[in-house]
Amino acid sequence: MTIRQFRRRLQNQRKHALRSFERHRRKNLLATPGEYAYIIVLDQLKPTFNIGKIFRSAEAFGAHEVHVIGTPFFDPTPAMGSFKWVPARFHDTFDACYQTLRERGYSLFTLDPSTGTPLPETTLPKNSAFIFGHEEFGISFDPLDYEGIASLRIPQLGKVQSLNVSIAASLVMYEYTRQHGPPRTQPAPIPATADLITDNPDRSELF
């Protein structure tokens, strides 16, 4: 494959992801908050796989909302249809997101594998917002510049103190739901297989 062909392939993938995002975004406008009050904040993540995977976990663990900062669109395919169920809020900057969440009475947490308080030893407030940064560069801001942001860490045994961001988010969501007990209502029944068939020829997105 030549460089020109490779670039054309990337451009086509980007166009496909953008069209898919726009279609799914319209459905997301009808999404209702999950059974739990916690919020997931995604700060400047790459518009590829992880955001969709986090939406998938957020739907599974009853997240209230997912706030996306600095990423105007992403590939919804890894979400496996869950993007339409979890309300998404988009912000240009962390500051705008921070002000919104603080006005709503949320306690904010970042993840820091070196200095954070161990997640299982932390009592998570009902109104918790968990911030996950860019896969390579981390969060886009200095927590010391903002009041009321605490730091958590996920205890690990390995020498490489690092987890994929979607896995880290899933572990935090699980711990929150463990602490706050089962949801007030039973989950809706899973649709029959026929209801999940999509018009996408390769059926990579279950809509």
Q: What's the confidence (pLDDT) of residue 112?
A: 87
User: Does 75 or 191 have the greater pLDDT score?
Assistant: 75
CA distance 2 to 177: 49
Lowest mean pLDDT segment, chosen from 64-68, 74-78, 183-187? 183-187
Residue spans per domain, the chain = 37-182
**pLDDT, tens digit, for every residue of 78-97?**
999 999 999 999 999 999 99
Instruction: Tell me the whole-structure pTM to 2 decimals.
Output: 0.81
For 110-132, what is the mean pLDDT?
94
> In sequence order, what DSSP letters do the residues of 79-145 get, joined into one string?
GTTGGGTS-EEEESSHHHHHHHHHHTT-EEEEE-TTTSEEGGGS---SSEEEEE-BTTTB-SS-GGG
CA distance 145 to 156: 28
CA distance 116 to 172: 13
CA 128 from centre of chain: 14
Across-strand partners of 128?
A: 107
Rg (the chain; Cα; Å) = 18
Q: What's the confidence (pLDDT) of residue 202?
A: 38
CATH architecture of 37-182: 3-Layer(aba) Sandwich (3.40)
What sign does the CA torsion over 34, 163, 76, 108 have? positive
Q: Is the pLDDT of residue 194 over 60?
A: no
70 near 140, Cβ under 8 Å?
yes
Q: What's the confidence (pLDDT) of residue 71?
A: 92
Q: What's the confidence (pLDDT) of residue 67?
A: 98
